[in-house]
Amino acid sequence: MLNLDFSVFNWSLIQGFILKGLWFSIVLTIIATAGGIFFGTILALMRLSGKKWLDVPASIYVNGMRSIPLVMVILWFFLLVPFIIGRPIGAEYSAIITFIAFEAAYFSEIMRAGIQSIPRGQVFAGQALGMSYGQNMKLVILPQAFRNMLPVLLTQTIILFQDTSLVYAIGAYDLLKGFDTAGKNFGRPTEMYIAAAVLYFIICFSLSWFVKRLHKRIAIIR
């Protein structure tokens, strides 16, 4: 019979092991989301440009990244880049760069769908006002696309937060690593993994509930 003991949990344990990992997971999620949306929007515009020299490389990148498991990308980058440049870059920096590069492919598809969801009349109206392609995108199309895709962007961000646990494979000190380290130090790995699962569930369920409410509010505004 499995003997569980959660009495080891106290503020000292949380402060010494868990908060450090939670902080890195949150920072990684925020940076990867911001970078992913930025580069993803650029990739989406390249794919919608109608120019093959922009569309083809962007399509290859997006489809290629979406066809590879994230954990493989993390390991490849962490192992190959130091070999190429001749020096290590650290697990944390490696994780940040990898997540931005990987998530850009997913955010690209979200933004492309958002841009394509805008009625063509909006584009023609901007052109009628004498706007250039760039001005039309910046002032008319992209703001509406962001608003339409906001629930989907936030949902992808929640998935991204869950995926941050994969950096455990390269030794980065994320939330899962914090629980694992605490489990080893206190001799209670089972309790720590259960607690990690519960905390991930609480965070992701709460964020999902918020996104659902936001989606309803946006639908009412429309």
pLDDT digits (tens, 9 = 90+) for 98-113: 999 999 999 999 999 9
Quick check: 5 pLDDT over 70? no
Q: Dump pLDDT digits (tens) for 197-222.
A: 999 999 999 999 999 988 887 765 55
Choice between 146 and 215, residue whose per-residue pLDDT is larger: 146
Segment 57-61 shows an average pLDDT of 96
**Residue 2 pLDDT:** 59
- Give the separation between CA 28 and CA 88, rounded to whole angstroms: 19
Q: In the chain, what percentage of residues exceed pLDDT 70? A: 96
Choice between 93 and 135, residue whose per-residue pLDDT is larger: 93
Quick check: 127 pLDDT over 80? no
Segment 118-141 shows an average pLDDT of 82
Q: Dump pLDDT digits (tens) for 19-55.
A: 999 999 999 999 999 999 999 999 999 999 889 999 9
Report which of 45, 172, 47, 199 is spatially closest to residue 99, judged by C-alpha positions.
172
Structure tokens at 43: 């990739």
**Residue 1 pLDDT:** 52
CB–CB of 196/146 below 8 Å? no
Model pTM score = 0.91
**Residue 221 pLDDT:** 54
Q: How distant is the alpha carbon of residue 167 from its chain centre?
A: 13
Helix, strand, coil percentages, rounded to 5, for the chain = 85, 0, 15
Q: Dump pLDDT digits (tens) for 69-83.
A: 999 999 999 988 888
Q: 142-165 burial string, b = 16+ CB within 10 Å, else e?
A: beebeebbbbbbbbbbbebbebbb
Q: In this structure, which amino acid lies at residue 56? A: V
Segment 176-199 shows an average pLDDT of 92
